[in-house]
């Protein structure tokens, strides 16, 4: 792991990274939301989109959130596997 040597001003009590990698809970939460909205958007009746100007906002937004959530998970997992290597 390329630990940059410029961090000399850290006092004692510093640890490797923090207690937990926040990218994981964010990634899981957004992916789950995205998937739920996407599936709901594809299954629900079209009438509920009258108020959203005819846009199937659940499917569109669900897809987008799934991509963002997956992005967080990929970054977190890549970082973790690199740390192990």
Partner 1 sequence: MSSVIILNAVDYAIIGGYILVMILVGYTLRKYMKTGEDFFLSGRSLPSWITGLAFLSANLGALEVIGMVANSAKYGIATVHFYWVGAIPAMVFLGIFMMPFYYGSRVRTVPEYLKLRYNEATRGLNAISFAIMTVLMSGISLYAMALLFKIMLGWSLTGSIFFAAIVVLIYVFWGGLSSSIYNEVIQFFLIWLGLLPVVFLGLKEVGGFTGFVAKLQEPLLHSVKYLGTSANPLGVDWFGVVMGLGFVLSFGYWTTDFLVVQRALASKNLNAARMTPIIASFPKMLVPIIVVIPGLVALLVLPEFGQAALPTADYNSALILLMKHYLPNGVLGLAITALLASFMSGMAGNVTAFNCIWTYDIYGAYIRKGRPDAHYLKVGKYTTVVGIAVSVGTAYIVQSFPNLMDYMQLVFSFFNAPLFATFLLGMFWKGATPWGGFWGLLVGILTAAGHYVLYRAGVLSYHSDMAANFYQAWWAWLADFVVTIGVSLFTAKRDPRELAGLVFGLTAKPKAEARWYARPAVWGALAIAIAVLLNIIFW
Write out the residues near partner 1 by the rule CB under 8 A.
Answer: 6-11, 13-15, 17-20, 22, 25-26, 28-30, 32-33, 36-37, 40-41, 44, 48-49, 51-53, 55, 57-58, 61-62, 65, 68
Rounded Cα–Cα distance for residues 43 and 83 (Å): 41
Cβ neighbours around 65 below 10 Å, total: 20
Give buried/exposed letters for 30-48 (b at 16+ CB in 10 A, else e). bbebbbebbeebeeeeeee
Least CB distance to partner 1 at residue 85 (A): 21
Least CB distance to partner 1 at residue 52 (A): 6
Residue number, 33 or 77, with CB nearest to partner 1: 33
Rounded to 5, what percent of the chain is helix, strand, coil? 65, 0, 35
Residue number, 35 or 77, with CB nearest to partner 1: 35
Least CB distance to partner 1 at residue 51 (A): 6
């Amino acid at each position: 792991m390329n630990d940059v040597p410029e961090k000399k001003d850290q006092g004692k009590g510093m640890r490797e990274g923090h207690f937990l990698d926040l990218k994981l809970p964010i990634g899981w939460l957004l992916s789950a939301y995205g998937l739920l909205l996407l599936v709901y958007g594809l299954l629900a009746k079209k009438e509920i989109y009258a108020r959203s100007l005819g846009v199937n906002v659940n499917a569109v937004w669900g897809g987008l959130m799934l991509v963002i959530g997956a992005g967080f998970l990929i970054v977190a997992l890549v970082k973790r596997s690199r740390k192990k290597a």
